[in-house]
Structure formats: C-alpha cells, structure tokens
Structure 1
Amino acid sequence: MCATLPCALRDPSVAPEGPPASTYACALEPPGLLGHFLAHPPEGFAARQFAGGVPGFVADFDLLTTADERLLATLAQWPGQRALRRLLTWRTCFAGSTVSEYLPLPAHTTQHTAPAALLDAVLQDWQRSTRLLIFKDIALPTELLPEDETRYAGALLQACAAQGFVIVEGQALAYVPIDFASEDEYLARLSSGRRKDIRRKLRARQGLRVQVLATGDACFADEALLARLYALYLQVYAQSELHFDRLSAEFFRAVLQDAALDGRVFLYATPAGALVGFNLCFVHRGMLIDKYIGLDYALSRQHNLYFVSWMENLAYARTHGLRHYVAGWTDPQIKAYLGARFALTRHAVYVRNPLLRAALARLARWFERDHAWFADEGHDRR
C-alpha cells in the first residue's frame, strides 16, 4: 500500500452531476474500460469489433459453463468427464464483453440503425466462422438503465429470435438502490437474524485500514503493488466456480493507471500493513459499479472482508450521492442475504448446425443456472 496514515480515506473527487455522456447505450461502465478489454483481452481470447462498432471476442467456450447444478451433478456421474468437456468446448464468437454487465451498443447505432439492420450487419461480419454466435447479456427493462436503451435492446432480442437464435436467460445482476440514510436504516430492512449476523461480522472492521485510491494514482506506477494486486485477483479466480475469462496483468495495469476511468480502488490492510484484499469499482452514470475483487483468503476470512467491503461500498455510494450500487453477477445467494435486488439478462445463441440448434432450443432451460436458483428460492427480480 502507499504510505498514508492508518484508516485514511483518500477521496479523489465527488460524484458527477447526473450521468455523463457515454459512447455506448446499455453500458453501466465507462467506455474506456471496454477499450482496455479490446486492447488487452483475457487469456486465449481474440478481441474484435463488429460492423457498427459492437465490441466482441472469439474464445473457446465450454457449453456447460452456465449449466444448471442438477445437470452438472448428473453428468459428474458419467465416465470420461475430461473427454466430454473437450467435446462440449466449441470455438465461439461473442457480441459483447466480459467486462460489461450488459451488451454494450454503440450510442450512434441505437440512434440511427434499426435493431434488425444491426443484427444483419453483425451476421454478415461473422460469416458463420465459428460453431456458435452469442449476443451476450442483452439488457431487459431495469431501473439501472434508461427506458429508451432497454427498448432498443428488447427490439434487438426480438430480431434475434426472428432469425432463429435460441433465447437463454442469463445470470442475475445484483444491485442495491441507495435510498437509505444510514447503515442502520439499511440493515433494519433485513431479518433480525441477518442483522445480528452481519453486525457481528462487521466488528472485524476494527482490525482493518481502508484506503480509497483513484485509478491513475501515482501508487499504481509501483510494479510491486501491481503484482501484489494481480496475485490477489488470481486467488479469487482460482476459487471461482467459473473459469472463463482470466484477465491479464497488462489489463489490470492499464486500468489501474487510467485516471479517465473514474475508478475507485478500495484497499484493505491490517494495521501492520499486510494487504488483505482490494475491490476495484467505477463511478459512472451516477452509480458505483463493482467490478473486480482480489483476496488473500487466509486474511480475508479472518476479517470477514466480503461483508466489510459490501458495507464500505454502500457507505461510499451513499455519502457521494450515487443512486445505485451495482454488485455484479456472481454469488447471488450471499448477495441476496446481504439485501440485494436482482435483474436478469438474455443471451441470444445461434448454432450454425441446424440439428444442434433445434436440440439447444429444447434443452435451453438446463443452461439457465441463476433462473433455476430464483425459481427454487422464490426471490423477486426487478
């Protein structure tokens, strides 16, 4: 960590007045983040841009990545697991990115190009070069985005369905409206059992130093710090159930050194200076967008860092006049426990082989993991 006073909170700026102009519709992130994704794609990815400026990439895709846990449990009993996974891993072309919550659509395109025409342009650009084409995370109506943007995304989804794409429900995006005046008011909305448990876990704050640095801070010229942060990210990646997009050290360096992104890096350390973890967020369109976390698991468990960082992010969003905290896709169970709401997306999947396309249409429900969880748990989606 940089040499600062313990518990110092270095606040680079106040929240902007209203949502700034964006070059993408349906994007919660600053456009520069997509630029870094295209320049430094995850390992094994080939980044590209389709006609009209739609970002995309090509990668090997395990078809079981988002499979329902019940299906995975059944398949785990079959012999030849490695051979099966290889057989079900296809070279796939994606419209979208893995650094954006929704499929980002160039703003000029949504203003001047009909959704069906945009789809035709992407299809002509793709030229059936891979076995799958996936429009990733098409936005549905949500309080997180303007109505005109989600209306265009919905029309694009309808155009995909008309062209024979299979529509698959995506993951659950967790978010919290910042409509409370204090931490106590927020916790009061939870059950008494959850309040007691969370407050007990938050006692670990007393053993942590917290810094908030802006992306572009001079600290991020320190190669040793960059290496330490990347190593913490890799710990989280290794523990994740999904191993799809392993971001590169070059990507993190470019992002952390880019002041224009309006990023916030929350650093958590012990009083002795041992780095426990970090959380990289962005302030954009009046929201705090939580993107990446890195953890020293041995220390972070001692300090209940997941719970502490959640409440720190809510406090930052509240004190800076932001309207939402967007907490990302993974771990819906714990985020629901912490009081999050959820929004779902849709993927539009085109299978080049017509027989396999028909099979996917019949089996699509088995690849909607978060949808199955919502159905089982009865959580509301808004």
Structure 2
Amino acid sequence: MRPIDVLIDVYGLSELLRFIERTLYASPTRTEAGAKPGDRVTVVTRAALAQCSRWPSAFASERKDHRFYEIVEDTINPEFEYRYFVIHDDRGEPCTVQPFFVLDQDLLAGMGSHTRAVAATIRHLWPGFLKLRTLMVGCAAGEGHFDGADEPSRQEGARRLASAIMCHARAMKIRLVVIKEFPAKYRPTLACFMQAGFARVPSLPMTRLEIKYGSFDDYMCRALHSARRAKLRRTFQTLNRAPPVEMSLEGDITPIIGEIYPLYLQVYARSKQHFEKLTPEFLCALGQAIPDKSRFFVWRQSGKIIAFNLCMVQGDAIYSEYIGLDYAVALDLHLYFVAVRDVITWAIANGYRSYCSSALSYEPKFHLRHRLDPIDLYVRHTSAVINPILRCLLPWLEPTRQEPLLRKFENYDELWDRS
C-alpha cells in the first residue's frame, strides 16, 4: 500500500471515530419524568454550604464526618471540582447533604497492562476513547456514605437524589455518573438508583477482622492455623536480632511530617494500583481537625521513624487507613506485620472489637483470616443510547477482575450479592 493510501485510511478512520464520539456523546434532550432538580435537590459550593444548617451534623455517626470532607477538598486533588447536593424535605429544610466531585475519568485505569497498551493505540486516533467527564457522588479519599439523620431520611434523600441527579449531570455536561464506593449496608437505601437505570458492580473491597480476643497471642491461637502461627512467631523473632523497635501514639504529627510523608510515598510508589495521592497537608489536618477520631501510630528504631499507620476509630471498630514504611528496613523487619500486631494489640487493650483495613494488600489479610467488607459502585451514562451498552460492559471493566485472590475469601460471593 502506498504511503498516501495509508494516510487516507488513517484520516478516514480518525474522522469516523470522531463522528461516533460526537453522535454518542451528544447530550439527549429528554429528561427523566418528574425530575425537578431546582425545588428539592440543589447544587452548592463549599462557600454556600457554610449557610446550610444540616452540614455541621452531616455524617456525624461516621468516622469520616463533615470535617473529613472539608479536609479532602482543601488538601487533595485540587484539579477536581468539589460540589455538594443539598436535598430538602417537604418543608424546604435541608435534610441531606451529599458531597460529589467532577473529574475526567479513565475507564481503563484499573485494567491490566495489555488492555491499557491496546487502548493507548486506539487513543492515538480517538483521544477521548473511554475517557469521560464524570460526576462521582461520595468521597475522593476512600469509601463514601449517605447522609441523613436516620434510615427513613436517608432513603427519602436517596430517592429524591436519584430522580434529579441526571438532570443536574446533563446540565454540567457530564457523561458518566458514579455513586462511588458505598458500603454494602447501603444497598437497600440505594436501590432507587438501580430503578433509575444505574448498574451496581463491586469496587475493591475493604476487609474486616473480628478481634474479640484477650490478646494478639490469643487471636493467633484461636483464629489462625498452626502453620501460620509458627510463621508469624518466626517473623516476630527477627526483631530480637535487631535494635529495638518502639511504637508510640501521636496526636498532631505536624512536627514530624517531614519524616512520615516520605514513608507514605515509598508505599504509594510500590503499589500496583493507585488511588488518591495524599498530601502532607492532608495528614497534618486530620490530627489537628479530627483528633477525636484520628490515631497516628509511629514506629522508631534508634530514634529514627521507620513506619507509621494512620487509623481512624468509629464505635468499637478501628480502621487502618494508610501506612508508610521505610523499605530500607521494612522487609527485613517485616514491618507490615509488626504494625498489624501492635495496632491490634492496642485496639484490644482499648476495647475495640473489629479491625478494618482499606483495599489492596489482600494476600496477608487472607492469611490473617480477614473477611471481605464489600463496597459498591453504581454507574450510569447520561446517554439513554449508551447506557445499556455500558451496563453490558461494566462486568468486564469493574476493578475486582484484576484481583483474582479475592475469590479465595470465604465471603467472596457477597461482592456480587443481588439480594
């Protein structure tokens, strides 16, 4: 084939792809029947939210209350557009506040390297291929929760938001709407989104370990197999041949952030999948603004900080949120397991009954007998034409496909539970 023929073919294909993109991504004019976004569901900025009477008590029962969302907006991903849905009751009073953010989402971000390589070739001709302007309801740092004073108010707020959200999305030229990473306990509350055309798929789950034991040794003896107990004991004996490693519980970590933050970056760089990237300001703000729910565990060896674990508490559960390790010594000292042991020991001594952990690093959690704690994504395209196609594709795009180890957990089926 002559070079000019190749050029013509490439140009023609490129124009065809652009035509498909313009046709399929064109915003439809038809709106949902009965959707009245202006009277019961409004969109406000953070500044306007200061006048909302509901906001100071929003998410009060969760570890990530309204203060957490403010910290996230102030310190993480400044390129996101942070906004808030305010949902009003029949009297016009705000009863629910639901944070959201807008970004350009790459639908292939969680796929394997081969899929991304194929997509990169396509994107030479179609730069916007599977990249969509996306509205995400929830939290930009971890799982989301649905606000409301009680379950009836949450269900009513969800119903009103489900009926109005597509009108708001189209007004903002959104292509994809995602209810991002909501725990499975919200499935009854969010069933109205399924009725509104959303598809539910699992996100990478958190994990939970019941720690109703007298001590960490008691947990090992009663919960773990003998081979795993023996391996853990050999792991901890490594510490006996090294300078002592001491743990401390810190409040405001601002004075030591210069030592802590590089350890977080080391863990972040080694991760195969990346979520939100924290900033030093985020870590400092948590200790300063939410001291009642934040716990910073710090490990030192010979006076040098070699590990930290940011945890948050809620009721009788402690949540391991983020960890930082000095890999110059972390593997030799098995610091991950040291951190787990010491935090669980502290939690048991202080009356906590559950140890929860964020997504990823599933292999050690599997061997330590964690159970999966499912979180869900609810996804819909704003185009009535594309949405049925997207619903068919989602099972092939959802992130748990990249973690085959999840199938080994005894409650794996709960990720897809349709009941």
TM-score (norm 2): 0.73
Quote the offset at 1:82 in angstroms. 8.8
Aligned residues of 1:136 and 1:347 also touching (Cα < 8 A): yes
Paired residue for 2:395?
Answer: 365
Q: Structure 1: 5+ residue runs without aligned partners? A: 1-20, 141-149
Give the match's secondary structure for 1:108: coil
State the distance in 2 between where 1:24 and 1:259 align: 13
Which one of 249, 272, 279 corresponds to residue 212 of structure 1? 249
Paired residue for 2:86?
Answer: 51
Aligned residues of 1:28 and 1:100 also touching (Cα < 8 A): no
Which one of 220, 232, 236 corresponds to residue 198 of structure 1? 232
- Greater Cα shift, 247-256 or 278-287: 247-256
- Written as runs of structure 1 = structure 2, the 5 A alignment for 1:67-86 is 67=111, 72=112, 74-75=114-115, 78=118, 80=120, 83=123
Amino acid across the alignment from 1:197: K
Paired residue for 1:304?
Answer: 334
Is 1:105 aligned with 2:143? Answer: no
Percent identity reads 24
Paired residue for 1:29?
Answer: 64
Aligned residues of 1:287 and 1:322 also touching (Cα < 8 A): yes
Quote the offset at 1:174 in angstroms. 0.7
Larger Rg: 2
State the distance in 2 between where 1:46 and 1:203 align: 49
Quote the offset at 1:349 in angstroms. 0.5
Paired residue for 2:259?
Answer: 228
Q: Structure 2: 5+ residue runs without aligned partners? A: 1-55, 88-96, 415-419
- Written as runs of structure 1 = structure 2, the 5 A alignment for 1:218-257 is 220-222=253-255, 225-257=256-288
Show CA shifts across 1:30-88 (max 9, x none): 44222311332335323221223111212232212344xxxx25526648459479633
State the distance in 1 between where 2:405 and 2:119 align: 31
Distance 1:60 1:197, change over 3 A: farther
State the distance in 2 between where 1:66 and 1:156 align: 27
Is 1:160 aligned with 2:200? Answer: no
Paired residue for 1:38?
Answer: 73
TM-score (norm 1): 0.79
Aligned residues: 339
- Greater Cα shift, 302-311 or 249-258: 249-258
Give the match's secondary structure for 1:98: coil
Paired residue for 1:170?
Answer: 203
Amino acid across the alignment from 1:304: H
Q: Higher relative contact order at CA 8 Å, sep ≥6: structure 1 or structure 2?
A: 1
Quote the offset at 1:360 in angstroms. 2.1
Aligned residues of 2:85 and 2:98 also touching (Cα < 8 A): yes
Is 1:316 aligned with 2:346? Answer: yes
Show CA shifts across 1:117-175 (max 9, x none): 132344444345321110012222xxxxxxxxx3xx22343211111112111222111
Give the match's secondary structure for 2:205: strand
Quote the offset at 1:289 in angstroms. 1.3
Amino acid across the alignment from 1:182: S
Show CA shifts across 1:290-337 (max 9, x none): 111112222211211111111111111110001211111122222111
